[in-house]
Amino acid sequence: MSRAAALAAVADYFDTGQFETELAALVRHPTESQDPAAAPHLLAYLEQAMQPRLQAAGYACTIHPNPNPNGGPFLIAQRHEGADLPTVLTYGHGDVIRAQHGMWREGLEPFTLTRRGERLYGRGSADNKSQHLINIAALEAVLATRGALGFNSRIVIEMSEETGSAGMAEFFRAQREALSADVLIASDGPRLQADTPTVFMGSRGGVNFDLCVDLREGAHHSGNWGGLLADPAMILAQALATITDARGQIQVPEWRPTSLTDDIRAALRDLPIAMPDDGQGGPSIDWDWGEDSLTPAERAYGWNSFAILAMQSGVPAAPVNAISASARATCQLRFVVGTEVDDILPALRRHLDRHGFDQVKIVSDGRGFFQATRLAPGHPWVQFVRNSLAETSGKDPHVLPNLAGSLPNDCFSEILGLPTVWVPHSYRGCSQHAPDEHVLAPVCRDALHCMAGLFWDIGATGGPGDSPASTT
């Protein structure tokens, strides 16, 4: 009954192939939350894959409908061991992005887990099925070794994260007592380097919207009408060109944050940046892109970024000699703490009007947005997790104030009032949200070790003790 025995148990779980078998069973559920027809699969994932397993581990489980008709169901699992013990909440999402059938490399199918070397391919393998499977298996290893966790455990699994966590805020407000805890410890996103644990304490927010120029009914011959009819694509292109300069530096004053303080700069100073030879399979960064006065790490984790996700005017696959009637661009702002959320789109409206682009309409995607959140790097729970991961892995973890991507972390930090600590189990080259999504087997094995050690340490010590949430 020792920490080493718990680590040995999860190593055996992985080395015997049980982890891969169980991940394959989760991947087989086609839980595409962006497809309304997948609703039965979202419920089946909770009823068939999650609930029986957690009940076998001593958890009382309830499945709840989403208060938002556009969202999938939730599962809450609770294991209570003592009123005087700390309570740890963990989270995962069982829904996945669209499968993108026919776009994967030869021999790969989205909902069939396939191993090629150290890579395990399948939709949801990285985001997020392997991640909550690792955490649940680590909890089980501690239970099997100690006979108890040594703390109270609550788990929430949602099925709508890939559609903006529809209904989650309302659900959390209604279930605040059932989800109360001392800390959130959960997993999503990538490590900065595959061989080194990462800890982050929040995320950038994200808002998507369309910019549209609709001038008339139908397209008109470019020979007969060229020079006489305004071109919506040109108007839109010029409007977009005012939002950033030629190197992508944001030009909307209200979108330029003031929260990149000295302590955040210090936390970001020595973090690694993706390089083409780092073995992670990602692209080389463009050093001359983004805010010129910032380091790459500060641009990714301490600043806002604007992206044009898609553009269309006419029919790109079959262009004709005609001036289009309309043009549309789907855009996104990733934003950090300190950005006035309610003013993001109004600020853009004012900016476009100042530049004479009143013809450009701003259309929200209707999904709302994730808020930006951040926890101080010196928070006691952050230090506790950091020390535990260092003991298990033999490496000092990378600590990020917030993830570059977006998560529903505000539901935990703001609605539940929890300190939030995320320990991701993927890596930056995982092709998340793209064809050929995969996880690395060595990262999964290491993550199982790290989480079993962390949960063991919480049960052995009670965590860092009472401390304020200190969220900003």
Query: Each residue of 4-41: pLDDT tens digit?
Result: 999 999 999 999 999 999 999 999 999 999 999 999 99
Q: What is the mean pLDDT of residues 235-244?
A: 98
Pick the range with the lowest mean pLDDT from 30-39, 344-353, 398-407, 426-435: 398-407
Q: Please tell me the predicted confidence (pLDDT) of residue 368.
A: 63
Q: Please tell me the predicted confidence (pLDDT) of residue 297.
A: 93
Q: Please tell me the predicted confidence (pLDDT) of residue 46.
A: 98
Token digits of residue 18:
């049980």
Torsion region of 314: left, alpha or beta (phi above 0 gives left; psi -120 to 50 gives alpha) = left
Residue 90 to residue 97: CA distance in whole angstroms: 21
Q: What is the mean pLDDT of residues 57-80?
A: 97
pLDDT at 468 over 90: no
pLDDT at 275 over 60: no
CB atoms within 10 A of CB 101: 11
pLDDT at 153 over 50: yes
Residue 410 in contact with residue 202, Cβ under 8 Å?
no
- What pTM value is reported for the model? 0.88
Coil vs helix vs strand at 299 = helix
Residue-range domain boundaries for the chain: 3-203+371-461, 208-271+289-364
Residue 307 in contact with residue 331, Cβ under 8 Å?
yes
Give strand pairing partners of 203: 373, 403
Token digits of residue 128:
């997020």
pLDDT at 277 over 60: no
Token digits of residue 445:
């094995």
Q: Please tell me the predicted confidence (pLDDT) of residue 365.
A: 84
pLDDT at 54 over 70: yes
CB atoms within 10 A of CB 335: 27
Residue 71 to residue 81: CA distance in whole angstroms: 32
Coil vs helix vs strand at 207 = strand
pLDDT at 145 over 50: yes
Q: For domain 208-271+289-364, which architecture applies? A: 2-Layer Sandwich (3.30)
pLDDT at 268 over 70: yes
pLDDT at 278 over 80: no
Q: Please tell me the predicted confidence (pLDDT) of residue 469.
A: 38
Q: What is the mean pLDDT of residues 256-281?
A: 79
Q: Please tell me the predicted confidence (pLDDT) of residue 467.
A: 43
Residue among 419, 421, 412, 413 at smallest CA distance from 389: 421
Q: What is the mean pLDDT of residues 371-389?
A: 94
Model confidence pLDDT, tens digit, residues 157-198: 999 999 989 999 999 999 999 999 999 999 999 999 999 999
pLDDT at 397 over 80: yes
Q: What is the mean pLDDT of residues 37-55?
A: 98
Q: What is the mean pLDDT of residues 408-427?
A: 96
Q: What is the mean pLDDT of residues 350-377?
A: 90
pLDDT tier, 458 (very low <50, low <70, confident <90, very high otherwise) = very high
Mean pLDDT of the chain: 94
Q: What is the mean pLDDT of residues 349-358?
A: 98
Q: Please tell me the predicted confidence (pLDDT) of residue 425.
A: 98
Percent of the chain residues topping a pLDDT of 70: 96
Which option is the CATH number for 3-203+371-461: 3.40.50.720, 3.30.720.110, 3.40.630.10, 2.60.120.620?
Answer: 3.40.630.10
